[in-house]
Amino acid sequence: MDIHEYQAKELLARFGVPVPRGGLAYSPEQAAYRCTELGGTAWVVKAQIHSGGRGEAGGVSVCHSDREVQEAANHLFGQRLVTRQSAPRGKPVYRVYVEETVAIARELYFGTVLDRTTEKIIIITAAEGGMEIEELAASAPEAVQRSVVEPAVGFLDFQAREIAFGLGLPAELIAPAARLFRAAYRAFRDLDATMLEINPLALTKDGELVALDAKMSFDDNAMFRHQEISELRDRSQEDPRESHAADRGLAYVGLDGDIGCMINGAGLAMATMDMIKHAGGEPANFLDIGGGASPDRVLKAFRAVLHDDQVKVMLVNIFAGINRCDWVAEGIVAAYGELDVRIPVIVRLAGTNVEEGRRILRESGLPIITADTLADAAEKSVGALGMSLSA
């Protein structure tokens, strides 16, 4: 689960990370009022969306009067901001954050991420902030530092000081920087985050370190113990297809194709999408119904796939181990009874109770296209799509 910049800053400030003063606004008039509350002579108006690259896309403006603040906010509200990290349709802007300006001497980068491969936490820092870490790692890999944190031991003081020295900070800032890094790590750890990024982390002309921007993502599986984080969810920033599936306990990722997929097992799902592309088609989604799928769960998955209006053909590919092919077949038949299925459906079943599953489909009298192999299923899906589009 992702959250907005202002929400991440509120959480970080709670753990002791310095952030600029700012205020949230839901209208241009409220944005203008926020700058008068903050005082000063200049403010930054930032679109609050779940995407990076806002500045390049016109989502960040520096203003020098309340009128400019109101005009900048008025320009942002209601538009869909398209950034290099967003989908082609962009993200809608329904709120802006008005923040005091900071006199910047240097921009740094600080990030913390969970490495699932090594089961450790990686802290990534760079003496050059304000740009994407992927770009920096490609253009100047020597500028990126990586520190490994063993979760059982935690982020040690010497590691924090070592990072501060590695960033080339003056001696008087080593201790404050180490405190900031440890505070950010505590926020990451205690809130079950999977990613925390402060970019840029600014060294001001007054010799202070301030988090000018912040991103945080959280482990969905841990949200049951963080109700306050769950309440920060903004559905307007999510793919409605993914929200619909997630609310029903399904692992779903929306894509841009027109062949909907319902598969069990992440590896088989990836192989199926590759086979669809090999056959000349484009998958509309990644959907793993998981193990032990009951007919009711299959029905929910069917509904999730058909929730996407772009889907013109549906491919069901099940290799049953924990699952049972007869359960899947019963769910498919139930879907035809409860849903308005008007698109071709291709089904490939293999594994436990496969003969019983095929019998259920065969005797249902429904216009279901069956396939024996994955390659056969992919080819029939692309062929059905061609017939559907030409009809």
Q: Give the strand pairing for 104-115 and 193-204.
A: antiparallel
Closest CA to 259 of 332, 309, 311: 311
Contact 228, 190 (CB under 8 A): no
Angle, vertex CA 53, rays to CA 52 and CA 56, nearest 5? 165
55 labelled as ligand-binding? Answer: yes
- Which contacts of 65-72 are long-range, i.e. CB under 8 A and separated by 24 or more positions? 66/32, 66/33, 66/35, 66/36, 67/32, 69/31, 69/32, 69/34, 69/35, 69/43, 69/45, 69/98, 70/28, 70/29, 70/31, 70/32, 71/28, 72/31, 72/45
Per-residue pLDDT of the chain (391 residues; tens, 9 = 90+): 899 999 999 999 999 999 999 999 999 999 999 999 999 999 999 999 998 888 888 999 999 999 999 999 999 998 999 888 877 778 899 999 999 999 999 999 999 999 888 889 999 999 887 767 777 767 777 778 999 999 889 999 999 999 999 999 999 999 999 999 999 999 999 999 999 999 999 999 999 999 999 999 999 889 899 999 999 988 787 767 777 667 667 778 888 899 999 888 888 899 999 999 999 999 998 888 876 667 788 888 888 888 888 899 999 998 887 778 898 899 899 888 888 888 999 999 998 899 999 999 999 999 999 999 999 999 999 999 887 666 5
Alpha carbons 188 and 201: distance in angstroms, whole number: 16
Query: Residue 139 and residue 124: Cα distance in Å, rounded?
Result: 16
**Strands, DSSP E only, in the chain?**
22-25, 43-47, 60-63, 80-81, 91-92, 96-100, 104-115, 120-126, 144-149, 193-204, 209-211, 215-218, 251-254, 259-263, 285-288, 313-320, 345-351, 368-371
What is the pLDDT at residue 131? 66
99 annotated as ligand-binding? yes
**What does the alpha-carbon distance between residue 186 and residue 52 come to, in Å, rounded to a whole number?**
24
Q: Which helix (H) or strand (E) holds 67?
A: helix 66-76
Both structure tokens of 45: 């108006």
Whether residue 213 is annotated as binding a ligand: the answer is yes
Assign residue 259 a region: left if phi > 0, alpha if psi is -120 to 50, beta otherwise?
Answer: beta
**Does residue 199 have a known ligand-binding role?**
yes
Does 129 show up as a binding residue in the annotation?
Answer: no
pLDDT at residue 391, as a whole number: 56
Q: Is 107 annotated as a binding residue?
A: yes
Q: What is the DSSP letter of 260?
A: E
Domains of the chain in sequence order: 1-19+103-237 (3.30.470.20), 21-101 (3.30.1490.20), 239-390 (3.40.50.261)
The amino acid occupying position 44 is V
Which of 5, 6, 197, 330 is an active site residue? 197
Q: Is 16 annotated as a binding residue?
A: no
What is the C-alpha to C-alpha distance for residues 110 and 185, in angstroms, rounded to an integer?
10
Per DSSP, the three-state class of 23 is: strand
Instruction: Give me the pLDDT at residue 390, please.
Output: 61
Annotated binding-site residue? 221: no
Active site residue 197: yes
Tell me whether the omega of the peptide bond preceding residue 200 falls within 30 degrees of 0, making it cis.
yes
* Per-residue confidence (pLDDT) for residue 116, from 0 to 100: 85
Question: Tokens at residue 140, please?
Answer: 């100047």
Left if phi > 0, otherwise alpha if psi is -120 to 50, otherwise beta: which for 16?
A: left
What is the per-residue DSSP string for 160-225? HHHHHHHTT--GGGHHHHHHHHHHHHHHHHHTTEEEEEEEEEEEETTS-EEE---EEEE-GGGGGG
Question: CB of 223 within 8 A of CB of 128?
Answer: no
Q: What is the pLDDT of residue 292?
A: 62
162 catalytic residue (yes or no): no
**Active-site position among 6, 97, 109, 185:** 109
Pairwise CA distance, residues 230 & 340, whole Å: 34
Residue 95 is classified by DSSP as -
Per-residue confidence (pLDDT) for residue 244, from 0 to 100: 65
Q: What's the pLDDT at 360? A: 93
Question: Tokens in use for 207?
Answer: 């010799």
